[in-house]
């Protein structure tokens, strides 16, 4: 009985550790993007200055990091968590493209601003959903199937 308990604990540790690192990386990358985007996205009528080339460049860099970490999540699974990560990644790319467009063309496009705000909100809300899913996935030892 003691050996069975030890084996189960070891199995759980082996399942948990690789995923935990992958999930931490994705959460860190998405959190950095949220921290960058959200102060601007909170206000629908942000002045043009909020969408500077430096802001857009940093958003693009952070979205690229989310994309790299997204791939790791997709490979680590589970599928349900990969789907949430895919939603976060897609919104990250959309927000970065919108910020680049607004910075590059200095356009006062309500649709693009609105799209930026919606995408930033999806990243923020999707991150919360991902964190909850990651906790559940890490607690799943594979025995309740």
- Concatenating the DSSP letter of every residue in 42-87 gives T-TT--GGGG-HHHHHHHHHHHHHHHHHHHHHHHH--HHHHHHHHH
pLDDT tier at 109, thresholds 50, 70, 90 = confident
What kind and span of H or E run contains 105? helix 79-105
Output the CA–CA distances (angstroms, integers) from residue 108 to 47, 99, 100, 130, in the order listed: 9, 12, 13, 33
pLDDT tier at 9, thresholds 50, 70, 90 = low
Output the CA–CA distances (angstroms, integers) from residue 23 to 57, 72, 74, 94, in the order listed: 25, 8, 10, 22
3-state secondary structure of 108: coil
pLDDT at 108 > cutoff 80:
no
Q: How high is the pLDDT of residue 18? A: 85
d(CA 46, CA 41): 8
Tokens of 142: 């594979």
Query: For 142, which DSSP code?
Result: S
d(CA 50, CA 39): 9
- Indicate the CATH number of 2-139 among 3.60.15.10, 1.20.1420.10, 3.40.50.1980, 2.40.50.140: 1.20.1420.10
Q: How high is the pLDDT of residue 72? A: 97
Q: How high is the pLDDT of residue 63? A: 98
pTM above 0.75, yes or no: yes
């Amino acid at each position: 009985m003691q050996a069975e308990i030890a084996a189960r604990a070891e199995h759980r540790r082996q399942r948990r550790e690789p995923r935990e690192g992958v999930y931490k990386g994705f959460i860190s990358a998405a959190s950095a993007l949220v921290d960058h985007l959200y102060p601007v996205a909170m206000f629908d009528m942000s002045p043009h200055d909020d969408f500077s080339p430096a802001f857009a460049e940093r958003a693009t860099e952070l979205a690229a990091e989310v994309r790299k970490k997204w791939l790791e999540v997709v490979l680590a699974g589970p599928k349900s968590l990969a789907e949430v990560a895919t939603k976060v990644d897609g919104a990250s790319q959309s927000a970065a493209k919108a910020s680049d467009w607004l910075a590059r063309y200095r356009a006062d496009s309500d649709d693009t601003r609105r799209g930026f705000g919606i995408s930033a909100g999806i990243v923020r809300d999707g991150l919360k959903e991902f964190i909850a899913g990651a906790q559940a996935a890490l607690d799943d030892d594979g025995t309740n199937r």
